[in-house]
Amino acid sequence: MGLDDVIKGLEAPKQFNRQMGAMFNIWLFKKYRNATDGAAFQKSKDPIVVLNANGEQLRLFANNIGCGLQKRPDFVVKANGRYVIGEAKFIGTEGGNQNRAFDDALSLASRSFKKAVTVAILDGIVWIPNSGQMSQRLKNFGGNALSALLLDDFFALL
């Protein structure tokens, strides 16, 4: 690889799937009320409130309510008095980092906690029937996995 190829790689825009995490959080904060302080978040009487904090603060909050997470979740929400800990991933293709992102989301969503519900918010090719290994795994998945388009419905069921 020559210098020109290195420069092209450095100047190339982020892959779309890498931009989606930040875009999901921007959408989440616009759609629902959010709190930047853990105490205000816990005391909030809003039907749906998002904890607006960095990943490490989200992990610490989740662990303070008994989740014991090693990895940082993508979001923490309180909906109808219940905490929701989740991962949000856009899957554009199978393979490599996309498989790892998918596995991370399902790993969290397969766990159960006394004080929190877990969920994988997945969008992209995973919902195309028989499109590959990921859609097959979702068909047999026993946890909470859904599209961001169904988030209001999910929160209403809590």
Q: What is the pLDDT of residues 104-158, one digit of tens each?
A: 999 999 999 999 999 999 999 999 998 899 999 999 999 999 999 999 999 999 9
The answer to the question of residue 50 being in a domain is: yes
Can you give the pLDDT at residue 12? 59
The answer to the question of residue 6 being in a domain is: no
The answer to whether 34 and 82 are in contact (CB under 8 A) is no
Can you give the pLDDT at residue 17? 45
The answer to whether 76 and 58 are in contact (CB under 8 A) is yes
Rounded Cα distance between 76 and 88, Å, is 11
Read off the pTM: 0.86
The answer to the question of residue 121 being in a domain is: yes
Task: Sheet containing 116-124: give its strands across.
Answer: 33-35, 48-51, 75-79, 82-91, 116-124, 145-146
The answer to the question of residue 2 being in a domain is: no
pLDDT tens digits, one per residue of 71-97: 999 999 999 999 999 999 999 888 888
The answer to the question of residue 3 being in a domain is: no
Rounded Cα distance between 11 and 121, Å, is 30
Rounded Cα distance between 109 and 73, Å, is 11
The answer to the question of residue 1 being in a domain is: no
Rounded Cα distance between 54 and 76, Å, is 11
The answer to whether 77 and 65 are in contact (CB under 8 A) is no
The answer to the question of residue 7 being in a domain is: no
Looking at the structure of the chain, the number of domains it has is 1
The answer to the question of residue 24 being in a domain is: yes
Q: Which residue segment(s) compose the domain that 112 sits in?
A: 14-157
